Amino acid sequence: MNVPTMAEMMAQGKQPEVLFWVGCAGSFDDRAKKITKAFVKILNNANVSFAVLGTEESCSGDPAKRAGNEFLFQMQAMTNIEILNAYEVKKIVTACPHCFNTIKNEYPELGGKYQVMHHTQFLKSLLDEGKITVSGGSYKGKKITFHDPCYLGRANSVYEAPRELLKKLEVELVEMKRCKTNGLCCGAGGAQMFKDAEKGDKEINVERTEEALELKPKIIATGCPFCNTMMTDGVKAKNSEENTEVLDIAEMIANASDL
């Protein structure tokens, strides 16, 4: 796996086309690391000129801001922006809708203006440019439902890129009743990922997973490491691991191409 850092690239006097913003989950969470690697494999395979910040990357500040700590958020944002601007980054791709949203929408006012893409959008563009081919492989004809991450869907109106990739995977895409603009949150947003839920009669991820499982899908596809965790936990809670898998679209594309 070839994962150059911005520092290495700079030392060689090179400027990558795109910065891959890995994010905290993608860097540290065992499940999300698999998504990161799958995405890198696709990038390598397509000979995309990219780099990561590596140890110079730090939390985008999204959970701090959503938890109400504006000060910590802006500290994080401005430190990151300083580094990104020092490397003259123009284009950023990330597999985390939370980083995607924050960098795309909240960084510009603080001096960080970049073209920001979610990895499903980026993969779609690679596909359109003919840099990658996607075919069904083992997923062909399988029943799959897509869970819309809130920060990709409602927050930024990206609904089609992930679905178009799924269509290329030749799956049988079945939609949950609450999809796209009506999508139900997995329960992790707004910094909920890092705390227990308030008193209630059900966990949100269970509510959402039940809805997905009603369709009896082979796979619940997502595009967010936090949704992935929540849905995976939900599937476990419903004892359905044997029938249903939770996968990121990048993982599916990498698997389908035997990467």
Could you tell me the smallest distance in angstroms from the CB atom of residue 10 to other proteins?
16
d(CA 65, CA 74): 8
d(CA 217, CA 35): 20
Asked if 11 touches other proteins (CB under 8 A), the answer is no
Could you tell me the smallest distance in angstroms from the CB atom of residue 87 to other proteins?
16
Asked if 184 touches other proteins (CB under 8 A), the answer is yes
- Compute the C-alpha angle 230/23/136, nearest 5°: 65
Determine the size of the site formed for other proteins (CB under 8 A).
73
Task: Give residues 35-54 in contact with other proteins (rule: CB under 8 A).
Answer: 36-37, 52, 54
Asked if 187 touches other proteins (CB under 8 A), the answer is yes
Closest CA to 242 of 208, 258, 223, 219: 219
- Compute the C-alpha angle 212/217/218, nearest 5°: 135
Task: Give residues 85-114 in contact with other proteins (rule: CB under 8 A).
Answer: 101, 104-106, 109-110
Q: What are phi and psi of 53, to 5 degrees?
A: -80, -20
Concatenating the DSSP letter of every residue in 195-209 gives SPPPS-SS-HHHHHH
* Interface pick for other proteins out of 46, 155, 215, 259 (rule CB under 8 A): 155
Could you tell me the smallest distance in angstroms from the CB atom of residue 128 to other proteins?
23
Could you tell me the smallest distance in angstroms from the CB atom of residue 170 to other proteins?
30
**Signed CA dihedral, 69, 159, 184, 247: sign only:** negative
Contact track, other proteins, 69-88, x by CB under 8 A: xxxx-xxx-xx--x------
Rg (CA), the chain: 18
Judged by beta carbon, residue 74 or residue 255, the one nearer other proteins is 74
d(CA 162, CA 121): 7
Judged by beta carbon, residue 152 or residue 171, the one nearer other proteins is 152
Task: Give residues 163-182 in contact with other proteins (rule: CB under 8 A).
Answer: 178, 181-182
Judged by beta carbon, residue 53 or residue 256, the one nearer other proteins is 53
